[in-house]
Amino acid sequence: MRYWVYQALCEVILKGTYSNLYLKNHLHKVKEKDQALATNIFYGTIQNLSYCEYVWKQYTNSKTSNQVGIILSMSVYQILFLDKIPKYAIINEAIELTKKVQPKASGMVNAVLRKIDKDKIQYPSDPYMKLSVEYSLPVWLIKMWAKQYGDEKMREMVPYCNQSMPVYVRFNPNYKIETEYENVCGTLYKTNLNKISSLPLYSQGKISIQDEGSYQICLFLDVEENMNVLDCCAAPGTKSMAIGELMHNTGHIDCIELHEHRKKLIEQDVKRLKLSNVSCFCKDARELDDFGLYDRVLCDVPCSGYGVLSRKPDIKLRMKPEDMDSLIPLQQQILESASKHLSEQGILVYSTCTINKKENEKQIEQFLKNHPDFECVEEKTIFPAFQTDGFYMAKLKRIRG
């Protein structure tokens, strides 16, 4: 099983494969009784990669290959975070793995792992650097959050960037379903279900997977039956489907998606949920001149994803501060394009899954400065917290046509 985890980590860390897609396509190769542990080691190592590397690098001066580094990191994760597995068993597994990958390094791996002690880790003296190490977050992000939201709020958020998240399901209101699961809001429930997409309830269109923040954005749009809705960056279609259900399959939703293969994901969900009020178009959301006016417009723009690091930990592996340089103008262009298609007194919701004022509040400030015919009705930031991802949403109203 650990060799499978090692291979999976190599694919994600060294080759850039998305962790969720790798798990979806390859987890079946692991014995069912070992799948939960394999998933834990896989995601846990990715979430805590910088921390694990920092720890084992304190005990070796020798140059280490990327492959051996992954073995050390996944072993350190188990030693420090999985108390039920004996340390000797973790070390023995690591030695056997190294013998398969790079036999000459097995002695070094053995020596390093035997020195690992949770109580003897030497942390940087700088408080921001210490947080950076502990939570495997770049120090520039920690400093940015402290500057934008204050030191106290930053320290509240940071620990929740590595938490295990529950699974939420949205119940289709067109079906009557008895359940004992905890209702979060509307038709969203917190569950302990696994492999939801293989359940009959899922294939029958009675339930869908949706995170709480994503669902809150749909509620924020304030849709009513028989409305016309434009969803500008729709794939994979989760929010579009929730909006369709909230309107009880009345009115109409036009879904815009740039990539054909992602447009097909929306169409598959439309079919699964038997929604007749959804259409999909393969278009650039910045070029919508041939579309008309809508009662509601959802502008869930591409973003840096800093609010969903616990659910998408591989963002950490590639995040750079300069990513915003290309994202911010793209967000502006999509918002500008979408706003042209909102009818008078209509509502446009601009949303992201990031915690970054440059992509959120500053974008809305700039837009309103250039568009006196719009007003901001409400803004909401959901910060990462216990079992909650981070999201931002702004509700804009067109007050003049």
Q: Which residues are catalytic?
A: 353
Residue 352's H or E segment, with its range, is strand 342-352
CA distance 29 to 83: 26
- Maximum CA extent, the chain: 73
- Within 10 angstroms of residue 392's Cβ, the number of other Cβ atoms is 26
Q: Which two tokens stand for residue 71?
A: 């073995």
What sign does the CA torsion over 276, 256, 391, 316 have? positive
Residue 323's H or E segment, with its range, is helix 323-339
CA distance 240 to 26: 29
Q: Where are the alpha helices (DSSP H) in 251-321?
A: 260-273, 315-318
For residues 165 and 214, the answer to whether their CB atoms sit within 8 Å is: no
CA distance 234 to 359: 19
- Reference 307, options 385, 238, 374; nearest CA is 385
Q: Where are the alpha helices (DSSP H) in 150-247?
A: 151-157, 200-203, 212-220, 238-246
DSSP 8-state code for residue 14: I
252-257 and 228-231 strand pairing = parallel
What sign does the CA torsion over 266, 271, 274, 275 have? positive
- Within 10 angstroms of residue 259's Cβ, the number of other Cβ atoms is 10
Q: Which two tokens stand for residue 315?
A: 């963002």
Burial label for 174, CB within 10 Å (0-12, 13-18, 19+), is middle
Phi, psi of 110 (to 5 degrees): -60, -50
Q: Which two tokens stand for residue 182?
A: 């905890």
Phi, psi of 59 (to 5 degrees): -115, 10
